[in-house]
Amino acid sequence: MHIEGYAGFSLSQRGIGVTANPSFECDPSHMKFPPKGQAKYETRYNFLEWSGTRMLAHDIDFFRSRICAPKLNLDGSSYGTAVAAVYADMFPDRVAKMVINGNMPPVPNTLEFAKGQGMALTQAFGHLERMCVKWTSTHPCDYFSNEMTLTKAWNALIGEIRAGRLTAPTNLPGEGGNVSFPLSIGLLQGYVQELMIIAGFVPTGWAKPVLTLVNLAGMRGQRARVDQVAKILDRYCTLPTGYSGEWSGVKTWRDYGACIGQQSVGLSSSESDTRLEGLGVPLRRKGSDTVLFRGVQV
């Protein structure tokens, strides 16, 4: 995103983007590294003592000092709203303009966030159930005779996942066949939630989340069940395509038995741009929360 009159800089806040390898080192002829500094550089420390949003704010301010900007203009979305707010709280005299576009709570609480997310998904699922009650003669709601049968199928699926029985085969050899990779409750809920969000913009969109539950419940056979698990894993455990690296498009759950996807590396298959490889995470790319510094107004 570009706004005329501003020089924009974006940040991979979690350190998971493409490595930029920037250098702010002074010319060796201008400054010698003091022995005391060398000793501190070699000192080992606990990473967790220096992580967190406040430490990130210090990093941002160091960046500001390196580009010689007296003030920064901040534009944060999602987690970036918290980053911008914390920076403004710590360094109010170094902020010019600030936009925070998101719903990040000022004092995040993991338990409360999980409860809220669960309540929201429950409400959406309740809507799905009510729609199927109205359309019991319409495919794929015709697999369920009433609201309770759909609820029963969902609860049974959660039990199957917790028991580790909803799996798909990987490419890794094991005893008696390939090693299986299990579907998690989080991945299933995320997938169904994503389908329900899309459903509001597609005429027959609500059929897809229902059909997903039908497949996972085994109502269309074991093959359809395994294929549906694999489809969900492919959605979230595949590295983005369109990049020149050998890792591009790798289905990590199949090849490595680990779920690492686009969200994990801050990139997207939908906006691949080889010009950006090695230059950092493009602003507002899917799966990457952002904070943008408009450091210099020209």
Q: What tens digit of pLDDT does each residue of 122-174 get?
A: 888 888 888 888 887 888 888 887 767 888 888 899 999 999 999 999 999 98
Residues 6+ apart with CB under 8 A from 209: 128, 192, 195, 196, 199
Task: Kindly state the average pLDDT of the residues 213-241.
Answer: 94
Specify the DSSP element, H or E, that contains 208: helix 207-216
Pick the more confident residue, 106 or 236. 236
Residue 195 DSSP code: H
pLDDT at 282: 32
pTM over 0.75: no
Output b/e per residue, 191-226; b: 16+ Cβ within 10 A: bbbebbeebeeeeeebbbbbbbbbbbbbebeeebbb
Of the pLDDT bands very low, low, confident and very high (cuts 50, 70, 90), residue 106 is low
- Secondary structure (3-state) at 100: strand
Residue 49 DSSP code: G
Q: In whole angstroms, give the CA distance from residue 78 to residue 70.
A: 26
For the chain, give the mean pLDDT: 78
Q: In whole angstroms, give the CA distance from residue 48 to residue 91.
A: 23
**Domain map (residue ranges) of the chain:** 6-107+273-297, 111-236
- Secondary structure (3-state) at 180: strand
Range picked from 21-30, 115-124, 157-166, 267-276 for highest mean pLDDT: 157-166
Task: Kindly state the average pLDDT of the residues 89-97.
Answer: 95
Of the pLDDT bands very low, low, confident and very high (cuts 50, 70, 90), residue 211 is very high
DSSP per-residue letters across 5-23: TEEEEE--TTS-S------
- Secondary structure (3-state) at 209: helix
pLDDT in tens, 184-206: 998 998 898 888 888 877 777 78
User: CA 235, 128, 234 angle in degrees (round to 5)?
Assistant: 5
| Backbone dihedral angles phi then psi of residue 52, each to the nearest 5 degrees | 120, 170
| Backbone dihedral angles phi then psi of residue 197, each to the nearest 5 degrees | -65, -45
